[in-house]
């Protein structure tokens, strides 16, 4: 079953006449076994999708083919085939394609040839002492973390599957357990729409050691290629974080009537530097995956540093929590006590904060109900990702809006509040649904309502799913900002070859 939004239901897109020839040339570059072209595409008839289903039941876009290069040079040559804009097919890129809830592997618009970069999977270079790695898009968080095991550096991991891409996630401004992943991006290798390959930001210099610094001199260019349709990324330099000597996660619970006061109290701890990394606050629905007591919110506060610092900070957080009288439970030793009922989950949570993604995806599966490899075929999942001020009243308002959506649609959303600092929360709203027509329809209606209600409140999304790609225009602040972005797009990509509709 595929959800078809009304405007595009039944919409047929035909392959450009010259597409077969362009894909043939791509096959000469990457090898025939690394190009998928539906028979119908060559014949110029209506097309089937070679991407398969997606977990969100978004309408499958018409895809004219999939090309799977294995080197940056192959990417450069394939992009070059499209550079003159003579074929009207456009290029959509993914790294490992785990963009679940926002579109999975699907492009925003119909009529794309998809560049699957999972085969570019080299860790080209790494310097643990200096704290950087040069990664290709197909490098997964599990692989890099394994390489760093036992070293003095760690990766800022996300709680998505261990098999997802470090680079792909950062390019959509993903959020790790230490901070937003864009903060770890220090340099990018980019194939421009012309087919030229450039490097921006910081890159290792074989002849001398330079400090890792992403901005360079003059305009800072790395961020120009994040959530951007200005190029295809073939590698990135990524910061590796110092590994803390010790680390603990304090677990707290509070009842829903205390949302405003308890989140306000946690904000005070964050602003006073009592926590490290991203404090996470889960509503009742989201907390279930962590075996949290029913009907309660769950908070994870990470503290790290030397053992003395961890002991002291843990003690302070626990004392503050008890003193506030807002929490029903406070625990800081579950991961060290094999008899604690929550021991196994607590260990997995602490390991993730310490840079080790769980290769068995136990918590990921508890959230999605499916292993990553079968999620797109069998699961039902949508994301809505607004930013919200980190204040008790704003987070209590989030609760009210989510409850309003439940009353209107019957969909009970999970909410995870990721504190990105003392003033900002990445509010992850999830909708898990059964893969049946009426449930999917209600979940998509809930998603639409969330966009309208949250945006009216000033809670603006920082990542968009493919069905709401056009919201980028409605949501951008700043006089002339969108017009300037378009000016850049027209100058760099005059034929709009790369990722049309994705944030542009
Ligand atoms: C249970 C669950 C938990 C999750 N937890 C998190 C989390 O903690 N943090 C988080 O951020 N997300 C999370 N996600 C969302 C998602 O799974 C991750 O963001 C994941 O890393 C994205 O998949 P990917 O790395 O394969 O990126 P991809 O799907 O490959 O890429 C994402 C997008 O970036 C662009 N892109 C990728 N590569 C390139 C390239 N080389 N050149 C140009 N553009 C490119 C494309 O637009 C692409 O659609 C979660 C999802 C689920 C279901």
Residue 40: CATH number of its domain: 3.30.43.10
The torsion angles phi and psi of 29, rounded to 5 degrees, stand at -80, -50
pLDDT in tens, 38-48: 665 555 555 55
Nearest residue to 238 via CA among 190, 166, 303 = 166
252 and 175 inside one domain: no
pLDDT of residue 18: 83
Q: What's the domain range around 108?
A: 6-118
Distance 98 CA to ligand 1 centre (A): 5
- What's the Cα-to-Cα distance from 86 to each of 83, 389, 496, 502, rounded to whole Å? 8, 46, 11, 21
Give, for ligand 1, the residue of 96, 97, 99 to mutate: max count of ligand atoms closer than 8 Å to Cβ: 99
In a domain, residue 158? The reply is yes
CA distance 19 to 45: 12
> What is the domain count for the chain?
3
Written as six digits, the tokens of 492 are 């760099």
Distance 129 CA to ligand 1 centre (A): 28
238 and 130, same structural domain? yes
Is 335 in the same domain as 312? yes
The dihedral formed by the CA atoms of 346, 349, 351 and 355, expressed in degrees to the nearest 10: -170
Has residue 162 been placed in a domain? yes
What are the start-end ranges of the H helices in 31-155? 39-43, 72-82, 141-148
CA of 330 to the centre of ligand 1 (A): 33
Q: Are residues 16 and 108 in the same domain?
A: yes
Question: 31 and 97, same structural domain?
Answer: yes
Burial label, 438 (beta-carbon count in 10 A; 0-12, 13-18, 19+): exposed
Report the nearest atom of ligand 1 relative to the CA of 103: 49
Report yes or no on 467 lying in a domain: no
| Same domain, yes or no: 238 and 256 | no
**Same domain assignment for residues 255 and 347:** yes
The residue contributing the CA closest to ligand 1 atom 46 is: 94
What six digits make up the tokens of 86? Answer: 């003579």
Ligand 1: centre distance to CA 154 (Å)? 20
| CB contact burial 14-28 (16+ within 10 A = b; e otherwise) | bbbeebbebbeebbe
Q: Which of 118, 136, 170 is the last residue of a domain?
A: 118
Helices and strands per DSSP (H, E), number in the chain: 15, 19
What are the pocket residues of ligand 1 if the criterion is a CB atom closer than 6 Å to any ligand atom?
A: 93-101, 117, 137, 158-160, 164-165, 168-169, 171-172, 174-175, 232-233, 364, 367-368, 381, 502
Q: Does the residue 387 lie in any domain?
A: no
In angstroms, the CA 133 to CA 25 distance is 33
93 in helix, strand or coil? strand
Residue located nearest, by CA, to atom 1 of ligand 1: 364
For position 271, which CATH number holds? 3.30.70.3450
Q: Are residues 131 and 208 in the same domain?
A: yes
Q: What is the pLDDT of residue 43?
A: 54
User: 329 and 251 in contact (C-beta within 8 Å)?
Assistant: yes
Name beta bridge partners: 125.
Answer: 134
Same domain, 171 and 232: yes
Residue 380: inside a domain, yes or no? no
* Non-local CB neighbours of 207 within 8 Å, separated by 6+ positions: none
Last residue of some domain: 333, 354, 375?
A: 354
Instruction: Tell me the three state secondary structure of residue 152.
Output: coil
Q: Which atom of ligand 1 is nearest to the CA of 166?
A: 25
Q: Does residue 401 lie in a domain region?
A: no
Residues 10, 107, 383, 459, Cα dihedral to 10°: -100
Same domain, 197 and 219: yes
DSSP sequence for 300-369: EEEEEESHHHHHHHHHHHHHHHHHHT--SEEES-TTT-TTSTTHHHHHHHHHHHTT---TT-HHHHHHHS
Question: Angle between the 307-324 and 259-271 helix axes, to the nearest 10 degrees?
Answer: 150
- Among residues 464, 441, 461, the alpha carbon closest in space to that of 5 is found at 441
SS3 of 266, please?
A: helix
pLDDT of residue 2: 40
Longest dimension (CA), the chain: 72
Ligand 1: centre distance to CA 102 (Å):
9
Nearest CA to ligand 1 atom 51: 160
Contact 269, 223 (CB under 8 A): no
What pLDDT, in 10s, does the model give residues 193-238?
A: 999 999 999 999 999 999 999 999 999 999 999 999 999 999 999 9
Considering 219, 242, 265, which residue would you say is the last residue of a domain? Answer: 242
- How many whole angstroms separate alpha carbon 336 and alpha carbon 154? 21
Domain CATH code at residue 236: 3.30.465.10
Phi-psi region of 421 (alpha: psi -120 to 50; beta: other; left: phi over 0): left
Asked whether residue 403 is assigned to any structural domain, the reply reads no
Query: How much is the pLDDT for 255?
Result: 98
Q: Are 144 and 235 in the same domain?
A: yes
pLDDT tens series, the chain, 504 aa:
444 344 344 455 667 778 889 999 999 999 999 999 766 555 555 555 688 899 999 999 989 999 999 999 999 999 999 999 888 889 999 999 999 999 999 999 999 999 999 999 999 999 999 999 999 999 999 999 999 999 999 999 999 999 999 999 999 999 999 999 999 999 999 999 999 999 999 999 999 999 999 999 999 999 999 999 999 999 999 999 999 999 999 999 999 999 999 999 999 999 999 999 999 999 999 999 999 999 999 999 999 999 999 999 999 999 999 999 999 999 999 999 999 989 999 999 999 999 999 999 999 999 999 999 999 999 999 999 999 999 999 999 999 999 999 999 999 999 999 999 999 999 999 999 999 889 999 999 999 999 999 999 999 999 999 999 999 988 887 889 999 999 999 999 999 999 888 887
* Residue 316 maps to a domain: yes
Distance from C-alpha of 452 to C-alpha of 446, rounded to nearest angstrom = 10
Do 149 and 96 sit in the same domain of this protein?
no
């Amino acid at each position: 079953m595929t959800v078809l939004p009304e405007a595009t239901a039944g919409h047929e897109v035909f392959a450009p006449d010259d597409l077969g020839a362009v894909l043939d040339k791509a096959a000469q570059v990457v090898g025939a076994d690394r190009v998928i072209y539906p028979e119908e595409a060559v014949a110029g008839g209506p097309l089937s999708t070679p991407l398969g289903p997606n977990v969100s039941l978004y309408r499958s876009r018409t895809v004219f083919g999939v090309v799977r290069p294995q080197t940056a040079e192959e990417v450069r040559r394939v992009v070059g085939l499209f550079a003159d804009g003579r074929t009207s097919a456009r290029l959509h890129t993914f790294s490992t394609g785990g963009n679940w809830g926002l579109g999975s592997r699907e492009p925003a618009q119909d009529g794309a040839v998809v560049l699957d970069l999972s085969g570019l999977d080299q860790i080209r270079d790494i310097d643990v002492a200096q704290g950087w790695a040069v990664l290709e898009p197909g490098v997964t968080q599990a692989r890099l973390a394994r390489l760093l095991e036992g070293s003095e550096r760690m990766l800022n991991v996300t709680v998505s599957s261990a098999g997802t891409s470090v680079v792909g996630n950062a390019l959509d401004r993903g959020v790790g357990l230490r901070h937003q992943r864009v903060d770890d991006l220090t340099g990018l290798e980019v194939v421009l729409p012309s087919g030229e390959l450039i490097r921006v930001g910081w890159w290792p210099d074989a002849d001398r050691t330079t400090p890792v610094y992403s901005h360079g001199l003059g305009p800072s260019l790395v961020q120009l290629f994040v959530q951007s349709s200005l190029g295809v990324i073939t590698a990135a330099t990524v910061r590796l974080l110092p590994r803390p000597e010790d680390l603990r996660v304090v677990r707290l619970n509070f009842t829903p009537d205390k949302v405003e006061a308890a989140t306000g109290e946690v904000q005070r701890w964050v602003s006073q530097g009592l926590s490290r990394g991203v404090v996470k606050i889960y509503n009742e629905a989201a907390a279930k995956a962590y075996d949290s007591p029913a009907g309660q919110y769950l908070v994870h506060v990470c503290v790290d540093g030397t053992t003395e610092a961890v002991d002291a900070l843990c003690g302070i957080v626990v004392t503050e929590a008890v003193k506030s009288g807002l929490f029903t439970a406070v625990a800081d030793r579950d991961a060290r006590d094999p008899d604690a009922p929550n021991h196994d989950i607590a260990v997995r949570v602490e390991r993730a904060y310490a840079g080790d993604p769980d290769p068995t995806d136990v918590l990921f599966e508890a959230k999605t109900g499916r292993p990553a490899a079968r999620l797109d075929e069998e699961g039902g999942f949508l994301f809505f990702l607004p930013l919200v001020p980190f204040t008790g009243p704003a987070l209590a308002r989030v609760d009210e809006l989510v409850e309003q959506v439940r009353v209107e649609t019957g969909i009970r959303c999970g909410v995870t509040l990721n504190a990105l600092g003392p003033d900002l929360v990445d509010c992850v709203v999830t909708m898990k649904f059964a893969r049946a027509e009426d449930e999917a329809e209600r979940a998509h209606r809930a998603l639409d309502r969330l966009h309208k209600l949250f945006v009216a409140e000033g809670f603006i999304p920082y990542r968009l799913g493919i069905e709401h790609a056009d919201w980028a225009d409605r949501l951008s602040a700043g006089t002339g900002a969108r017009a300037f972005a378009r000016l850049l797009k027209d100058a760099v990509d005059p034929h709009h070859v790369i990722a049309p509709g994705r944030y542009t």
